[in-house]
Amino acid sequence: MYTQGLDQRGDNAAAPARADDPAALAAFQARIDREEKIEPNDWMPQGYRRTLVRQISQHAHSEIVGMLPEGNWITRAPSLRRKMILLAKVQDEGGHGLYLYSAAETLGVSRAELVGQLLAGKAKYSSIFNYPTLTWADIGAIGWLVDGAAIMNQVPLCRCSYGPYARAMIRICREESFHQRQGYELMLKLARGTPDQKRMAQNALDRWWWPSLMMFGPSDRDSVHSSQNAAWKIKRVSNDELRQKFVDVTVPQGHFLGLTFPDPDLKLDEGTGHWNHGPIDWAEFNRVVAGDGQCNRDRLAARRKAHAEGAWVREAAAAFAAKRAHARAAKAAE
């Protein structure tokens, strides 16, 4: 889940490198325009490769960091059924991380290197995971809103021009949409439950609504621009279009739950059929992306701790594999 519009902010990785031969660039663009998929061994511009590595690895990191806020509730899930659903969901996220790191590896970068960037604090991940999961309703809100927003972002990526990424997204989107329905069903149970449960659901919506809207990234008016990514068919729909689609789908769902959205300006435009929302607090978004959110430090610390404490395990596995390989080689030489 959980790409956000970070790929358009503040750098020009998408700009074609000077070294790329104009004839090769033109032939590449012609392939893209014919909707051909680009495969790992095909020639591609340096900027295309860099953009994809960054976007896919951010997406993979988001899956891995995203395991933390939801994993926070596995041991406290209130029924055996809910515990199993949540375990399966978090396990799926780990699986998505694996596919995505593998897709990134087809572009010539190793998973160890990408994980190293995350642990060093140099790589970004979806900033929604820098918010805490305070109550059980947050698990429902994440499924309903965060996975819902992720699906909006990711469905167009199933048609991304880079084959391995597009194929990974098809499988991921199928699982995300399952998670989204489970999250909504959880919210429905709370909304139809006791007064305390309904209050819990409302409180979760109050906290997760705005960060969910921020998941689509900066407004099209303010984004650096994505014309190159659009031409390369990496990003096919703009941030604001995706955000609007999400709002239009989600607001009636929230009303069906009997919940209210924390936005006094939220209003249906009868003419266009769209739900207009109030202004997004971009200062908050930029602050959290830059590292000053409630959980940024905790999330990175948790990943670093797991990595550091697991070092001896990975060393043991490598040493064992080397011993076995050596033994096999010795046997073959006999």
Partner 1 sequence: MERRAALFEYLLRLGDSCLVLGHRVSEWCGHAPELEEDIALANVALDLTGQADMLLGYAARIEGKGRDADALAFLRDAWDFRNLLLCERANGDFAHTIVRQFLFDAWQAELYAALARSTDAGLAGIAAKGVKEAQYHLRHSGEWVVRLGDGTDESHARAQAALDEFWPFTGEMFETDAVATELIAAGIAPDMTPVEAAWMRTVDDVLAQATLARPKSGWMQTGGSKGRHGEELGHLLATMQFLPRAYPGAKW
- Return all residues near 256 (Cβ < 8 A) that are at least 6 apart: none
When asked if residue 90 is in the footprint of partner 1 (CB under 8 A), the reply is yes
Q: Residue 32 or residue 190: which is nearer to partner 1 going by CB? A: 190
Contact pattern from residue 187 through residue 226 relative to partner 1, giving x for each residue in contact according to CB under 8 A and a dash for the rest: --x---xx-xx-----------------------------
Residue with smaller CB distance to partner 1, 5 or 97: 97
Determine the Cα–Cα distance for residues 139 and 119; give it in Å rounded to an integer. 25
- Taking the complex as a whole, the smallest distance from the CB of residue 129 to partner 1 amounts, in Å, to 11
Distance CA 150, CA 123 (A): 19
Contact call for residue 231 and partner 1 (CB under 8 A): no
Q: Which of 32, 52, 64, 213 binds partner 1 (CB under 8 A)?
A: 64
Please report whether residue 74 would count as binding partner 1 according to CB under 8 A.
yes
Task: Please pick, from the candidates 15, 224, 316, 325, the single residue that binds partner 1 as defined by CB under 8 A.
Answer: 316
What is the size of the binding site for partner 1 (CB under 8 A)? 45
Among 87, 158, 230, 280, contact with partner 1 (rule: CB under 8 A): 87
The DSSP symbol for 14 reads T
CA 190/CA 5 separation, integer angstroms: 32
Could you say which of 26, 41, 75, 334 contacts partner 1 (CB under 8 A)?
Answer: 75
Using CB under 8 A, which of 10, 35, 41, 79 touches partner 1? 79
Cα dihedral: 308, 313, 318, 324 (round 10):
170
Nearer Cβ to partner 1 (94/252): 94
284 CB burial (10 A radius; 0-12, 13-18, 19+): middle
Using alpha carbons, list the distances in angstroms from residue 147 to 184, 196, 305. 10, 25, 27
Q: Is 253 helix (H, G, I), strand (E, B) or coil?
A: helix
Rounded CA separation 125/103 (Å): 17
Long-range contacts of 24-28 (CB under 8 A, 24+ apart): none
Q: Is 301 among the residues that bind partner 1 (CB under 8 A)?
A: no
Closest CA to 99 of 22, 173, 186, 177: 173
The C-alpha atoms of residue 200 and residue 137 are separated, in whole angstroms, by 6
Question: Minimum CB separation from partner 1 for residue 277, in Å?
Answer: 31
Tell me which stretch binds partner 1 (CB under 8 A): 123-131, 221-229, 230-238, 312-320: 312-320
Q: Which is nearer to partner 1, 66 or 293 (CB)?
A: 66
Say if residues 189 and 201 touch (Cβ distance below 8 Å). no
Separation of alpha carbons 310 and 58, rounded Å? 22
Which of residues 136, 184, 246, 261 is near partner 1 by CB under 8 A?
A: 136
Residue 88 near partner 1 by CB under 8 A: yes
Give residues in contact with partner 1 (CB under 8 A): 64, 67-68, 71, 74-84, 87-88, 90-91, 94-95, 97-98, 101, 136, 189, 193-194, 196-197, 302, 305-306, 309-317, 319-320, 323
